[in-house]
Amino acid sequence: MTGSHAGVALAWTLWEALSKQGMIKDLYSITGDNAANNVAMITVIQQKFAGIGIGWPKEERFHHCACHVINLISKEFLAHMGELTDEYYQFLTITWV
């Protein structure tokens, strides 16, 4: 799904699938990355639960995927390591040549 309303579409798709299986009340939590569409999706899911009288606090029920977070941190770290390595080699070249 793409577009500015992808999160809403994800929420409706999930809600419809859970509804068809009679599993709405079984949804305890969602794990995902912190992409804007996922943030929008859990907001809509929280509202839909509120609409049927069930408290579903998104702050407690949405879990950020640890593997995804580690991947993002690693990429950022390695990008900076590349910069440091380039600066180090440049320093060595200037200093020792």
Are residues 59 and 81 both part of a single domain? no
Greater confidence (96 vs 64) lies with 64
What span, in angstroms and rounded, lies between the C-alpha atoms of 83 and 86? Answer: 5
CA-to-CA dists, residue 68 to 33, 35, 71, 77, angstroms:
6, 11, 5, 14
Domain count, the chain: 2
User: Within this chain, do residues 97 and 50 fall inside the same structural domain, yes or no?
Assistant: no
- Co-location of 10 and 39 in the same domain: yes
Can you give the pTM of this predicted structure?
Answer: 0.68
pLDDT of residue 72: 84
- pLDDT over 60 (residue 17): yes
Shared domain check, 79 and 57: no
Helices in the chain by DSSP H: which ranges? Answer: 6-20, 36-51, 58-61, 66-96
Residue-range definition of the domain harbouring residue 44: 1-64
User: 57 and 71 in one domain?
Assistant: no
Say yes or no: 6 and 44 in one domain: yes
pLDDT tens digits along 23-81: 999 999 999 888 889 999 999 999 999 999 999 999 999 998 888 888 888 888 888 77
Residue 97 pLDDT > 60: no
3 pLDDT band, cuts 50/70/90, is low
Residues 71 and 25 in one domain: no
